[in-house]
Structure 1
Amino acid sequence: MADLCDRLLATVLAAADVGAATLRHLPPVPKGRTVAVGAGKAAAAMAAALDRAWTGPLSGLVITRHGHGLPAGRIEVVEAGHPLPDDQGPRAAARILDLVRGLGPDDLVIALVSGGGSALMALPAPGLTLADKQAVTRALLRAGTPIGEINVVRKHLSAIKGGRLALAAAPAPLAALLVSDVPGDDPATIASGPTVPDPSTLAEARAIVERWRLDVPAAVAAHLRAPAAETPKPGDPRLARQGATVILRPADVLAAAEAAARAADRTVLNLGDRVEGEARRIGAEHARLALANRDRGPLAILSGGELTVTIAGDGGAGGPNKEYLLGLALGLGGAPGIRALAVDTDGIDGTSPDAGARIDPTTLARARALGLDAAALLAANRSRTFFEALGDLVVTGPTRTNVNDFRAIIVDGDLG
C-alpha cells in the first residue's frame, strides 16, 4: 500500500540522522586545540551536532553541497558544487589544509566526512586545474562508471584526498567520523578517503581511464603516469595516529526499514545494501523478482546500494532511482497489487531537485493517457520528464544525510 512506502521512507530518514550518530561517537576532549574539518552532504549537520556538544575550544571548516548548509556555531560551513566541482570547493579545501597544518601532538583534528565529499573537496594536485578535474568527473559520470572506480581516479588527481588530509594534520591525532554511502563501507572509498591510507594505485587509476575509454586532458594523462602522484599507503608511519570510525551505514537504515515492514505484517525480502549496476537493468530484474514472488503473500522487497546510469545523447533529465523505477514499471507491465518507491537518501536523485519517485499498477496506463512513451523516455534518460508529468516525484528537499539509495517494492499478493 502506498502509505507503507511513505512510512518506510520516514523510517529510513529517521534512522539516517547523522547528528545523533555523531554524538554517539565523539572522541575525548584533548589537552590542546580541537579543529573540525570535513566535507560531504552530511557535513553541516554533523558539524552542528559537534558544536552543540563539544565542551572544549573548537574551530574549523566543513564543505557541503549548495543548499545543504546550516549554521554550525564555531565551525564555518562553506557550500560548493556537486557532483561537478565549482571554484568554491578548491578554495575551501585549501583552507582546510591550512587549518590542520602546524598542529601538535596535544591537539586533535576531528574529520567529519560523508558521501559527496570527493567532489566538494576537489583540490587539484600540483600541475592540474579545476577544469581538468571537472572534465574527468564529467567523463566518468557520463560513462556510468561505478563510484568506487570514480574515487580511485579522483584520489590520484587530488592534493587532499587519498590520505593527504591526514598527512597534512600529522603529528596531531586525527579522529575521522564517517557516514558511508558506498557498498562495503570502506573508509578508503568514502569521499575518496581523505583521512586514511589509500590501497589503490596509479596503475589502477590508469586502467580505469583506459577501460571506460575516457577522453581526459593531456595534463591528467601525464599526471597519472608520474610516480610522485602516488598516494600514501597502508603502513605509512606518518599516519600512525589516524583513526577512522564509520558511524552510520546503509545497512543500518535498511535494517530499520526491514523492522518497520515486519511490524506492518509483511514478509521481507532484503536484497542488501550493495546492489549495483545499470539502473534500468536492475529495475527490470527486480520486476521479475516481484512477479515471481506474488504467491508469498504480503511482501516487501527492500534494497540499497548505488545504481548507475549510462547517459545517451544530450543527457536527458533523470537520475538512477527514477531510471530504476521506469525500468521496474515497464517490467511489471501494470501488474496488480505491486507498487514501489526509490529515492536517494540525500534528497537529490542524480542532479534532479527530487529524491526519486514512486510507481503503482496505474503508472503505465496514466502515462499512455498523457501521450507519454515510457520506453522512449527511458532510452533518452528522460525519466524525470515521465514522473513529473504523472505527479509521482518524491520531493524531500535536502536531508543533510547520505546513506545511499533506498528502494522498496510492496507486493500485496497474487491478485490475478
Structure 2
Amino acid sequence: MKLSPQRQLLEQMFAAAVEAAQPAHCVPRYLPEAPRGRLIVIGAGKGSAAMARAVEDHWNGPLSGLVVTRYGYAVPCQRIEIVEAAHPVPDATGLATAGRMLELVSALSADDTVLCLFSGGGSSLLALPLPGITLEDKQEVNRALLRSGATISEMNCVRRHLSSIKGGRLAAACHPAKVVTLIISDVPGDRPMDVASGPTVSDTTTCEDALAIVDRYGIKLPAHVRQVLESGSGESIKSDDARLASIETHVIATPQLALEAAARVAHAAGFTPHILSDRIEGEAAEVGKVMAGIAHQVAAHAQPFDAPCVLLSGGETTVTVRGHGRGGRNVEFLLALGMTLSGEDGVYALAGDTDGVDGMEEIAGAYLAPDSLTRARALGISPQHSLSNNDAHSLFLALGDSLVTGPTRTNVNDFRAILITN
C-alpha cells in the first residue's frame, strides 16, 4: 500500500523521535570513570538491553552485570547477562531476576561502582514484593492500577511502597559502592523516582500517599497488602538515608529531546512545528477533544498559529477501562480526536508510544486522516461504539492505519503529531 505524503511525513517525525532516544546515541557520554574495584552493570526497562549494549561497546575495562528487559526487547551482549520478562504485568522471571540483582550488589566495597540502566517498563520488569506479598498479589495490583485511570506517577507511588527493590532500596543494597544511574525517561516531568519506580533514588512520597491513591481510584487490595500501607511498614528510602550518599543520577534522554527531533523533520518539510508540551496527562479521550479544538482554531482562524504547521506533544495519558476492547491510550486519543474533528479537511494526525507498544498490543499507535471515520463507517464500524468499548485498535487495524514498529528498544513516552496543511 502506497502511503500518502501526509502519512509519510508523520511517520518520519515519529521515527526521528524514536531515533533521538536510542541508547547508542545517549549512553556513551555519561559513562563513569573506571573504578579502582569492580564495575557492575544492572538495569531494567524496555530500553535497558540496548543501554547495556551501548555500555559494552564503549567500555574498555572489565565489567559484568545483569539486566532485565521486556520479551522481544533483548539485545545480544557479551559480558552483561540479558534476561527477558513480562510487561506490563510482572511474571516469575522478573521476580527471580530482581532477587538475583539484589544478591549481585549485596557484598560490594567502596572501591566498586554500580552502573544502573533504567528506562520505561522497569517497574513491571523489576518485581520483588515486600515479604508477605506474593507475585500474584503484585500482578493483581498492577492489573487494577492499569485499569483505574491512575497516572503513571500515581501507579509508581503505589508500586514503590509494596516493593523490596524500588523506592531507593536497590541503591541502599549497593552501599558502600558508588552508584551511577542513567535514565531514559518515559514519565511526564522526568522525575527519576518515577522511572522504573526509582530503584536507586530517594522517594519523596509515603505509604500514606500510596494509600490515598488506592482509595481515590477505588482499588480493592487484599487485606494483608493494604496493611503494609496502613502500618507504614512499606516505607521507602528517604533523602537523609546515609546509604544514598554516594549516588549520581543522569537523565540521558527525555520526551522533549524526541519532540525536538520530530520538530526538525517537520521544519525541513516546510511545516512550522509547535511543541505544545512534553508532559500532557489526563484521560486520553478528553485530551483528544481538547487537541481537536486547538486544531479547529488553527485551521479556521489561524490562531494561535498559522497553517501549515504541526502541533507536537508528549506525556502520558490514561484510559479508565470501561469496555471490553483492546485498549491503547494513543489510539483512544486519536479516535476521540477524529470524532471531534468530524472530518476537518487538511488535518491529519499520528499518535504512538515510542516503545512500540500501545496498551497491551504489539502496535505502537495509528494514523488518522480526514476520511478515516467515514471509511470506518463504510466497513460497518461505529467509531462511537469503538471508543466507548475502548477498542480503537480494532478500528484502525480494519482501516490498515495501525502503526507497527516492532520493539524500538527505547521509551520516551507518548508521541502525538497533528499536521494542519491549510
CA distance in 2, matches of 1:288, 1:165: 45
Return the offset for 1:259. Answer: 2.1
**Amino acid of the residue matched to residue 330 of structure 2?**
N
Q: For 1:91-130, list aligned pairs within 5 A.
A: 91-130=96-135
Given that 1:135 and 1:217 are in contact with CA atoms closer than 8 Å, whether structure 2 keeps it comes out as no
Given that 2:323 and 2:388 are in contact with CA atoms closer than 8 Å, whether structure 1 keeps it comes out as no
Corresponding position of 1:322: 331
Corresponding position of 2:307: 297
Given that 1:111 and 1:176 are in contact with CA atoms closer than 8 Å, whether structure 2 keeps it comes out as yes
CA distance in 2, matches of 1:280, 1:18: 32
**Amino acid of the residue matched to residue 52 of structure 2?**
A
CA distance in 2, matches of 1:334, 1:84: 37
CA distance in 2, matches of 1:251, 1:117: 20
Deviation per residue, 1:205-249 (Å, 9 max, x gap) = 111111111111111101112333211101211110011110111
User: Does residue 230 of structure 2 align to residue 221 of structure 1?
Assistant: no
Return the offset for 1:186. Answer: 0.7
Please state whether the residue corresponding to 1:274 is helix, strand or coil: strand
User: Does residue 51 of structure 2 align to residue 42 of structure 1?
Assistant: no
Of the three residues 367, 378, 387, the one matched with 1:369 is 378
Corresponding position of 2:70: 65
**Amino acid of the residue matched to residue 373 of structure 1?**
S
RMSD: 0.9
Corresponding position of 1:135: 140
Given that 2:288 and 2:334 are in contact with CA atoms closer than 8 Å, whether structure 1 keeps it comes out as yes
**Amino acid of the residue matched to residue 321 of structure 2?**
I
* TM-score, normalising length: structure 2: 0.96
How many residue pairs align between the two structures? 412
Corresponding position of 1:51: 56
User: Does residue 341 of structure 2 align to residue 332 of structure 1?
Assistant: yes
Please state whether the residue corresponding to 2:278 is helix, strand or coil: coil
CA distance in 1, matches of 2:307, 2:59: 50
CA distance in 2, matches of 1:81, 1:217: 23
Return the offset for 1:278. Answer: 0.5
Q: For 1:132-211, list aligned pairs within 5 A.
A: 132-211=137-216
CA distance in 1, matches of 2:219, 2:15: 40
**Amino acid of the residue matched to residue 310 of structure 1?**
T
Q: For 1:325-364, list aligned pairs within 5 A.
A: 325-364=334-373
User: Does residue 321 of structure 2 align to residue 311 of structure 1?
Assistant: yes
CA distance in 2, matches of 1:81, 1:226: 30
Corresponding position of 2:3: none
CA distance in 2, matches of 1:401, 1:346: 6
CA distance in 1, matches of 2:11, 2:157: 36
CA distance in 2, matches of 1:17, 1:229: 35
Listed as ranges, the gaps of 5+ residues in structure 2 are 1-5
CA distance in 1, matches of 2:124, 2:183: 16
Of the three residues 226, 243, 251, the one matched with 1:246 is 251
Given that 2:208 and 2:232 are in contact with CA atoms closer than 8 Å, whether structure 1 keeps it comes out as no
Corresponding position of 2:19: 14
CA distance in 2, matches of 1:7, 1:70: 24
CA distance in 1, matches of 2:340, 2:232: 49
Please state whether the residue corresponding to 1:123 is helix, strand or coil: coil
Return the offset for 1:361. Answer: 0.9
Return the offset for 1:188. Answer: 1.1
Given that 1:109 and 1:169 are in contact with CA atoms closer than 8 Å, whether structure 2 keeps it comes out as yes
CA distance in 2, matches of 1:297, 1:231: 49
Return the offset for 1:98. Answer: 0.5
The worse-fitting range, judged by mean Cα deviation, of 184-193 and 228-237 is: 228-237
Return the offset for 1:35. Answer: 0.5
**Amino acid of the residue matched to residue 352 of structure 1?**
E
Return the offset for 1:23. Answer: 0.8
**Amino acid of the residue matched to residue 375 of structure 2?**
R
Return the offset for 1:70. Answer: 1.6
Corresponding position of 1:86: 91
CA distance in 2, matches of 1:134, 1:244: 29
Return the offset for 1:269. Answer: 2.4
CA distance in 2, matches of 1:227, 1:201: 8
% identity of equivalent residues: 50
CA distance in 1, matches of 2:421, 2:234: 55
Given that 2:368 and 2:401 are in contact with CA atoms closer than 8 Å, whether structure 1 keeps it comes out as yes
CA distance in 1, matches of 2:189, 2:323: 33
* TM-score, normalising length: structure 1: 0.98
User: Does residue 415 of structure 2 align to residue 406 of structure 1?
Assistant: yes
Given that 2:20 and 2:261 are in contact with CA atoms closer than 8 Å, whether structure 1 keeps it comes out as yes
Corresponding position of 2:397: 388
User: Does residue 267 of structure 2 align to residue 262 of structure 1?
Assistant: yes
